[in-house]
Structure formats: structure tokens, C-alpha cells
Amino acid sequence: MDRYSNEKDIENCVVKLHILSCTIIITTVYRSPTGNIAYFLNNLEVALNQVYNNTVDIILCGDFNINYFSDNQNKQDLNYLLTSYSLYRIIDFLMRFHNNSHTMIDTIFINKFKNENYSVYPSINGLSNHDVQVLRSSNIVLPDDRN
């Protein structure tokens, strides 16, 4: 996915996991607050086209630098793009606290209809002004390797 990255506009990393009969693609994304939003959305769409199909579960997470705490055009454009891939935001709590302000610029998107048994919660790590987001899914069955 390196060919879909451009410093500040979109930086991403993709991991593909094969667990039993399940394939999970975890994509992390960073977009700088000064990055080109049109470039970001276009390249995110191209990257999703490369990995999307009905047999894989996609978890898209990261620092989008699009504030979900307020209504804005960038949020609407990102939501429109991701719903076309059946990806929906599951974070509904504030994640970043800085100079007496708070935002929801870090978030996670999944297919909530394929993955109904999940929970998310914040975890304060003390390493940055962004709290950690933890996603726990009950849909993933791990192999029993005791043999």
C-alpha cells in the first residue's frame, strides 16, 4: 500500500490476517491537518478498491484529522465514501484533549452488520495527547493450537 501513501496527505499501513476461514484486513491511516483532503479521499478509495470484497472484514482506523465532534463537509465526504464500502464509524467518545479543547479525530470504521459482537472503549496511555482506542470483537474465532 506504499504506493497509496504521500507524506501529510495520506500515510497508511495494511495488514492482512488469515485466521481459519476468516480474512481480516486492518488498515491504519494518518492524514495531517494540513494535508490535501481531496487527495486523501481519492487515494483512500483507490486503496480500498484493492482490498475490498464481500469475503473479507476490513477494520479501518487511525488519525484522520477530521473532527467527528462537529458537523463539517470533510466528515460528510469521508462517511459517504466509507459507507459505499459498508464501513461505519464505531467511536462515539472524545479521544484527543489539547489546550482545553477536545476532538474526535481518531476513529475506527468497521462493517457493523457483519460484526455485530464488538465493543470499543478508550484507554489512556499517557504517551501522547491522543487516547488509545480498543476494539474487542467476538466474531473472530482463533484456532485451538493446544495440539
| Per-residue pLDDT, 132 | 67
| Per-residue pLDDT, 78 | 96
- Which of 70 and 36 is assigned the larger pLDDT? 36
Domain residue ranges of the chain, discontinuous segments joined by +: 2-137
Give residue 127's identity as a one-letter amino acid code.
L
Domain 2-137 carries which CATH code?
A: 3.60.10.10
Predicted TM-score (pTM) of the model is: 0.81
Model confidence over 2-40: pLDDT tens digits?
566 778 899 999 999 988 878 899 999 999 999 999 999
Q: What is the CA radius of gyration of the chain?
A: 16
Give residue 29's identity as a one-letter amino acid code.
V
Model confidence over 47-64: pLDDT tens digits?
999 999 888 999 999 889
